[in-house]
Amino acid sequence: MIVFFILELGMQFSFIIILVFSMLNPSALFAAKQCPDHMVFVPKGIFWAGETNTLQKMTTDPFCIDQTEVTQTKYKLIMGENPSYFYQAENPVETVSWFEAQKYCENLNKRLPTEKEWEKAARAGTKYKYFWGNQIDPSYLWFSYNSSYKTHPVAQKKSNGFGLSDILGNVYEWTSNWYSNQEKFKVLRGGSWANRKNSVTIAYRDRASPSQKGSDIGFRCAK
C-alpha cells in the first residue's frame, strides 16, 4: 500500500509540475500541440534583424519551422523523385526550384518561411554576425572552407538556440519573399557549401529566379 501511495503521489506531483510549466510558458504548450514532429517552435515577439551595425527591431507571430533542411529521403517520399546532384539519402535535397519547394511544403500542409521568419529562427535571440558569435566557426556549418565543395548529411554540425541544424551553410534556403518590388527573384538565405565566410552570415541575402535550380539551393518548411 505504501508503494502504491508513493507512486500515485509522484504522478500527481509530475502532473502539477507540467501544469505549472505550461501556465508559465504558454509557448511550450502551443509547441507541443501545434508543431508537427521534427519541427521546432519559434515564439511570437520582437527580434533584432539585419547587419550587426544596423540592427532593427522586427516582430513575428508564432510559427513552426523544420528542424533540418528537407532531406533527399523525405523529398522523394512526397514528390516521388530525387533531383539532387549530390545524391545521398540524408543530404539536403537540392536542384529544386522555388515552385517545387513550395509544392512539397503545401503537400504536407506547410509553406516556405518568410524571410523575416527565417532570420528570427536563425538568430535564436542573438545579435551576432553568426548565431554563435562574430567569428566564423566550422563546427557549426558546412561552407567553402570545410565542405570539400559538396553537401553533407543534415544535423552533423552544432545547432542554434532553437535547435535548428544547418540554418547556415550546407545549402541555401528558399524563402517566400520577393527580393524586390519588381518580383523577378525570390530571396535565398543562409549561404551554402560553396560560400565563403562573409556570405554565410545571418544577414546575408541572395536571390534567384523562382524557376532556377542549383546544387547549392535547398529549403526547409514552416507552418
**pLDDT confidence tier of residue 18, bands split at 50, 70 and 90:** very low
Kindly tell me if the per-residue pLDDT of 200 is higher than 60.
yes
The average confidence (pLDDT) of the chain is 89
- Is residue 182 in some structural domain? yes
Distance between CA 150 and CA 223 in Å, rounded? Answer: 29
The string of pLDDT tens digits covering residues 58-83 is 999 999 999 999 999 999 999 999 99
Report the C-alpha gap between 161 and 40 in whole angstroms. Answer: 11
Structural domain includes residue 5: no
Q: Is residue 166 part of a domain?
A: yes
Task: Confirm whether 172 is domain-assigned.
Answer: yes
Average pLDDT of the segment spanning 193-200: 98
Contacts of 96 (CB under 8 A, 6+ apart): 75, 83, 104, 213, 217, 218, 219
Q: What φ, ψ does residue 103 adopt, rounded to 5°?
A: -65, -40
Query: So what's the pLDDT on residue 11?
Result: 41
For residue 26, is it within any domain? no
91 belongs to a structural domain = yes
Q: How confident is the model at residue 31 (pLDDT cuts 50, 70, 90)?
A: low
Backbone φ and ψ for 83, nearest 5 degrees, come out as -85, 0
The enclosing domain of 116 has a CATH number of 3.90.1580.10
Instruction: Work out how many domains the chain is built from and give that number.
Output: 1
21 within domain boundaries: no
Percent of the chain residues topping a pLDDT of 70: 85
Q: Tell me the residue range of the domain where 102 lies.
A: 35-218
SS3 letters for the chain? CHHHHHHHHHHHHHHHHHHHHHHHCHHHHHHHHHCCCCEEEECCEEEEECCCCCCEEEEECCEEEECCCCEHHHHHHHHCCCCCCCCCCCCECCCCCHHHHHHHHHHCCCECCCHHHHHHHHHCCCCCCECCECCCCCCCCCCCCCCCCCCCCCCCCCCCCCCCCCCCCCCEEEEEEECCCCCCCEEEECCCCCCCHHHCCCCCEEEECCCCCCCCEECCCEC
Determine, yes or no, domain membership for 28.
no
Residue 7 has pLDDT above 80, yes or no: no
Question: CA angle 51-54-56, nearest 5°?
Answer: 95
